[in-house]
Homo-oligomer: A and B are copies of this chain.
C-alpha cells in the first residue's frame, strides 16, 4: 500500500530526481540512454507521478473541475462527454462532483472542487446563488453551462430557447395547425426563453398564444392536459417545455381516448434518449449537448492559458427532430 516516489525511481535508475522529473514530463533535453533507463526503473517499480505534489510544486494544475447539478439527468452526461473530449485532447484531467439539485449540497461540492485548486471550473446548470459563483470566479476561470448569468468574468454556454420554440411552432404551423398551446416550465431554467420564443412565433404567424402553466415533469404534463380537456380548451397541437412533460401529456391524451398525432400533435424539448425510444418516438427540439461541453471546455482552457480575459457568451442554435408525434390536424394524410 505504499507507492514509490521519484526518489526511488532515481535511485534505481542511477540518476538524479530532477532527471526523472524531466523524463516524466517528456522533456526533449534528456539523452535516449537515460530516458530508457528511467522508464525501465519506473515500470519495474510501478511508479506513476503524484498529481497533487506535482501541482503543488508547479503552482499549476491540469485538472478541470466539473460540477453537475443533477447526475440523474442524461442531458449532463452528454455535455460531460464533450468536455471530456476536449480536455483529454489538451492533456487535462476532469474531475466531477455533484450537487444533487440542492443549493446546500452544491455549495459543498463547489468548496470541495475548489480545494483541489483546479485550473478552472465548469458548472452545469448550477442552482447556487450568483454570489457564490462570483466568489469562485475571483479565484479561477469559471464557465457556466445551461444557466445564464450577469456575473462578469464568467463565460456562459446556452442554447437559444427562443429559436428552439420558434422552430417547433413553425413546424406545427407548416403542418396546418393554428391552435397551438404551450405547456410552460414555470420557474425552471430556460423556461423563460422558450415561453418568449413560443409567444413571439405565434404572434409572428398571426395566431393567439395559449400558455398553460406547467412544470418539467411527466406528472405536470398530464395534469396540464387534463385541465385543458376539462375546460374544453384543448388545442390541436401542444408544445411542451421538455420531453418528460410531453410524455406525460401524451399519456393523459391517450387516457382521454385521444390519439397522438391523429387528434393532437405533441412536440417536446431536449431530445433526450427517452424521445428516441420507438415506444415514444417524440418530435422534439434537439440541443447540441456535446457541443455545449466542447465549447465550455474550449472557453475555459482559453482563460486558463490566459489567451482571453473578456467574457464570452455562447448561444447555440437548436434544431428540430421530427418523429411520430406530429402530423397535420386530423391525422396523417
Contacts and interface: CB of A to CB of B under 8 A. Distances in A.
Interface of A: 1, 3, 46, 48-53, 55-56, 70-72, 74, 76-78, 80-81, 84, 88, 93-98, 100, 108, 111-112, 114-117, 135, 138-140, 218-219, 222, 244, 247-248, 250-251, 254, 273-274, 277-280
B74 A93 contact: no
A50 B278 contact: no
Given A1-B138, A72-B78, A279-B280, 6 more contacts: A1-B140, A48-B115, A71-B81, A84-B98, A96-B96, A251-B279
A251 B273 contact: no
B248 A117 contact: no
B95 A97 contact: yes
B81 A77 contact: no
5 A-B pairs with least C-beta separation:
A51-B115, A71-B77, A52-B52, A96-B96, A251-B279
A142 to B, nearest CB: 11
A273 B84 contact: no
Contacts of A278: 218-219, 222, 248, 251
B98 A112 contact: no
A96 B50 CA distance: 18
A3 B61 CA distance: 14
Chain A interface mostly: helix
25 contacts: A1-B140, A48-B114, A48-B115, A49-B115, A51-B112, A51-B117, A52-B115, A52-B117, A56-B56, A70-B77, A71-B71, A71-B77, A71-B81, A72-B273, A80-B98, A84-B100, A93-B112, A96-B96, A218-B277, A219-B278, A244-B277, A247-B279, A254-B279, A274-B274, A279-B280
A95 B109 CA distance: 9
Contacts of A135: 46
Contacts of A273: 72
Given A97-B96, A135-B46, A116 B74 contact: no
Nearest to A222: B278
A98 B96 contact: yes
Given A48-B111, A117-B52, A139 B71 contact: no
A111 B77 CA distance: 21
A52 to B, nearest CB: 4
A165 to B, nearest CB: 23
The residue among A52, A93, A96, A139 with the most chain B CB atoms within 10 A of its own CB is A52
